[in-house]
Structure 1
Amino acid sequence: MCDRPARYGRFSREALWKHCCAAAAVSRKIALVTNVVASDEAYVAGLLHHLGTILIDQHLRSHFCRVVDQMDDLTPTYQVERKVLSFDQGQLGAYVVGRWHFPEQIRDVIRYHAYPQDYTGPHAKLVNTVTVANYLCNRIRLTSLARITRRLPWRLRTRKLD
């Protein structure tokens, strides 16, 4: 695995791994401070939230390169993925971990971390925790796509994690 070039355009595989590790650590810290979800669960969810990106990079590389080529600084990544692939990395990652019988809450985080406003299930606290961690990591330039997220998803700007 990971036998393809580690960089393409604005994407860096090394930066993706750093981002996922940072998101895991920040998710755990948020969980410890807020006490709204289990810290170990938050860590695992943060670590795996971009599993779909890894899969697309490795198994659909030419399509992944088209996604990277079409990205701009204003359009959310998942919208570009849907345009190019007809699905996004969250949908793919959630499907795969569902097939692997991962816990539902991990699947839900992978599926909805980029658009938590669409989530209506029972694991909103964990989804929101990882969404905030993902946002914070992106804001400090721990991102795999050299893009800085400007704003938190609308629902989280006015809500508490709990």
Structure 2
Amino acid sequence: MTGSPLSLERIQSCVETLPALPQAVREVMQALQRDDVSVERSVHLIEQDQALAARTLRVANSAFYGMSGRVGRIGDAVTLLGLRAVSGVLLAVSYSNGLDTSRCAGFNFRGYWRHSMAAAMAARLLAPRLRLDPDEGFVAGLLHDIGKLVLAAHFPAEGAQALALARSADVPDVEAERATLGLTHAQIGAVLVRHWRFPARVVQAVEYHAQPWEGGDPAARSLAELLQVANAIAHALDLADEAQEVVPSLDPALWLRLDLSDSAALTLLAEVERGVEDMCSALAL
């Protein structure tokens, strides 16, 4: 099946014309990339934006963190959640606000968010087992499928075509996208994540999360491996309520490296499921 190929140049042009993110999100992200971030300055910026402040407090007070109703200050919320995790949530939600995905037949906006949050939760919980930063794992998990949102909102006809093939042929999304569009949501997502000036390892991890072995940089490859596991777990839980859910293949050696007992694996799955319900409820997603 041959579709209408997209080029990375078209994606880049689209990304460059996106509306600016809220000032607080932009400044916090820029500070994080320079490694000279001031938590106090970041807290002040978030406090100045009522919508961002409200979202931050709702997440911190979600049942998942066991602090329901007890976090009343942004500073306490940032301490509890981690600044990278806070900025990642605010960035992703700010970008998706106002997007129209209704023209992309077959795209499930709520399902997209529930799956992304599940991957983020799983990545955060598993990161220490691969000696990776939990906050960075959370953010990378949250953004790993952002290319699907770009397709649905900005290239709805092309996105619908890929979704239709994936479901009719019962193949993974990346295969259907490559066949119809000439590139994948992972490549598209990497363009957006690079535009947002995330570290190169996060950009590469998003780009190669379906094939971690293709990533060149060792740090990026490790993060991509974490995303591959987190993505598989999120699909296995089927929190997106997809009628034809396809669980991607997973390298058995990678699963063994995680050294999860049966009871630990079950606990992890339960925590992810609970976390998704709590976080999506807190963010009204």
Q: Select the residue among 42, 65, 79 that pairs with 2:160.
A: 65
Looking at CA atoms only, which structure, 1 or 2, has the larger radius of gyration? 2
In structure 1, the residue matched to 2:136 is: 41
1:8 partner SS: coil
| Greater RCO, CA 8 A, separation 6+ | 1
Total equivalences in the alignment? 157
Aligned to 1:21: 117
> Which residue number corresponds to residue 245 of structure 2?
147
The corresponding residue for 2:186 is 90
Aligned residues: CA RMSD: 2.2
Mean alpha-carbon deviation: is it higher for 45-54 or for 138-147? 138-147
> How has the CA–CA distance of structure 1 residues 110 and 150 changed in structure 2, closer, same or farther, with 3 Å as cutoff?
closer
Change (3 A) 1:92 1:4: closer
Call closer, same or farther: CA 1:104–1:150 in 2, change over 3 Å.
Answer: closer
User: Judging changes above 3 Å, is the alpha-carbon distance between structure 1 residues 142 and 115 closer, same or farther for their aligned structure 2 residues?
Assistant: farther
Instruction: Give the match for residue 207 of structure 2.
Output: 111
Quick one: which amino acid aligns to residue 120 of structure 1? G
Question: 1:7–1:94: structure 2 CA closer, same or farther, 3 Å change rule?
Answer: closer
TM-score, structure 2 length as denominator? 0.51
Instruction: Specify the SS of the correspondent of 2:141.
Output: helix
| 1:114/1:142 CA distance change after superposition, 3 Å | farther
Q: Which amino acid aligns with 1:124?
A: R
1:131 aligns with 2:242: no
Bigger fraction of residues in helix: 2
Q: Deviations over 1:112-141 (max 9, x none)?
A: 111223223222221111110100110111
The residue type equivalent to 1:50 in the other structure is: D
Q: Could you say if the C-alpha distance between residues 7 and 100 of structure 1 is closer, same or farther in structure 2, counting changes exceeding 3 Å?
A: closer
What is the alpha-carbon distance in structure 2 between the residues aligned to residue 114 and residue 92 of structure 1? 13
- Partner Cα distance (1:144, 1:158) in 2: 29
Q: Following TM superposition, by how much is the alpha carbon of 1:96 offset from its aligned partner in structure 2, in angstroms?
A: 2.1
Mark the CA change 1:6 to 1:23 in structure 2 (over 3 Å): closer, same or farther: farther
Aligned match of 2:196: 100
Provide the C-alpha distance between the structure 1 equivalents of 2:245 and 2:144, rounded to a whole number of angstroms: 17
Return the offset for 1:158: 1.8
1:89, distance to aligned residue in structure 2 (A): 0.6
Amino acid at match of 2:101: R
In 1, the alpha carbon distance for the partners of 2:108 and 2:115 equals: 10
Structure 2: unaligned runs, 5 residues or longer: 1-97, 259-285
On the 8 A contact 2:190/2:207 being kept in 1, the answer is: yes
How big is the shift at 1:150? 5.4
- For the Cα contact (< 8 Å) 1:112–1:118, is it kept in 2? yes
Identity %: 28
